[in-house]
Amino acid sequence: MGRMLESLKLGESRRTPVAVSKPEAAPVQDCVTDWEIAEEVPYIEVGGPNKKVELSPGLMKHPPQAAPRPPHLPAEPAPLVVKPMTAYVTPAKPMAVAYEPWPGTTPVPVGVGAEIIAYHQPEHATSKEYAALLQTLRAGLTTGGAGVLLLAGLKPKVGTSTVLLNLAVLAAQAQNLRVMLIDGNGQRPDLAQRLGRSASAGFMDVIEGAVALEQAIVKIGIGSLHLLPTAASAKTHRPLTAEAMSWLIAWLRERYDLILVDGPSAEDPAALAVQLPHADGVYLVLPRGATATGASQDGIAQTLRRMGGRLCGLIHTHFDV
């Protein structure tokens, strides 16, 4: 600054006024009077000699750098690349559904009668005789579908139910058939008890509309052997009609392979006449050596035929003492 002031002072003193002629006739005009500088004004450098000055580190520009990551942290995952997705629409198709109740577990039978030898001792000689009898009875069936066999005793307590129970167990257990056993003897409805089961309803309750037929069927637990009892108190029901028996047999033929009916004895012809016409084969059970009282075997056959039954043979029973 001192050098600048000094230069200004020296320049001011060296200026000389410029002479300007002023004619008398010419009007006076305003003008600017300047000073002539005889010497050249020295060059003044403000700030001293030119020097290279480095910028402060705080003013230096650096490219952005990523923040350091601790070595124990995992590397950052790669960026997720979303690709376009093509959607395909399949036309809906109708779907049919059907409901079937879950089958309950059939308990193992307890208390099966000792007389049902085919269940307790399948390899016993008597069981072999029952197996041969079952083959003979099935061979006599002429129907292509489920066969209906009816066994009727010449009189009560001749072993009709025992024969039928052994045949039913063999058919369901050894031959894997769907067997329906009908307790048609209203005088002694005890098949459920002898198979170790209890029955609170029977097909007579179904006929009268008290329960559904599926609710009256008892699963025995021996193969696919089912039982249709008469009723818990069959004697209090109205007599079975031919129309009701026809409907019952037709319903069972569609669901089973073999239907075995424990029919009433010949001493109850009214009840026997209702069941006989619906059986494909009728067999009369009587003790060995016995015949019909006061009549021949031919007379018995003729009586059964008049009732509408087809007598296919006689089954003789005897008990080992």
Segment 269-300, tens digit of pLDDT: 899 999 999 999 999 998 877 665 445 666 77
Inside any domain, residue 148: yes
- Confidence category of residue 103, pLDDT binned at 50, 70, 90: low
pLDDT at residue 252, rounded to an integer: 95
Inside any domain, residue 264: yes
Inside any domain, residue 194: yes
Inside any domain, residue 219: yes
pLDDT at residue 228, rounded to an integer: 95
- Confidence category of residue 216, pLDDT binned at 50, 70, 90: very high
Q: Specify the number of domains making up the chain.
A: 1
Asked if residue 42 has pLDDT above 60, the reply is no
Inside any domain, residue 116: no
d(CA 164, CA 169): 9
Asked if residue 250 has pLDDT above 60, the reply is yes
Is this model's pTM higher than 0.75 or not? no
Inside any domain, residue 241: yes
pLDDT at residue 164, rounded to an integer: 96
Range in 171-185, 199-213, 251-265 with the lowest mean pLDDT:
199-213
Q: In what order do the strands lie in the sheet with 311-317?
A: 218-219, 224-228, 178-183, 258-262, 147-153, 281-287, 311-317
CATH number for the domain harbouring residue 148 = 3.40.50.300
Mean per-residue pLDDT over the chain, rounded: 78
Inside any domain, residue 92: no
d(CA 183, CA 190): 8
Inside any domain, residue 293: yes
For residue 292, the enclosing domain spans 125-317
d(CA 198, CA 232): 9
- Confidence category of residue 321, pLDDT binned at 50, 70, 90: very low
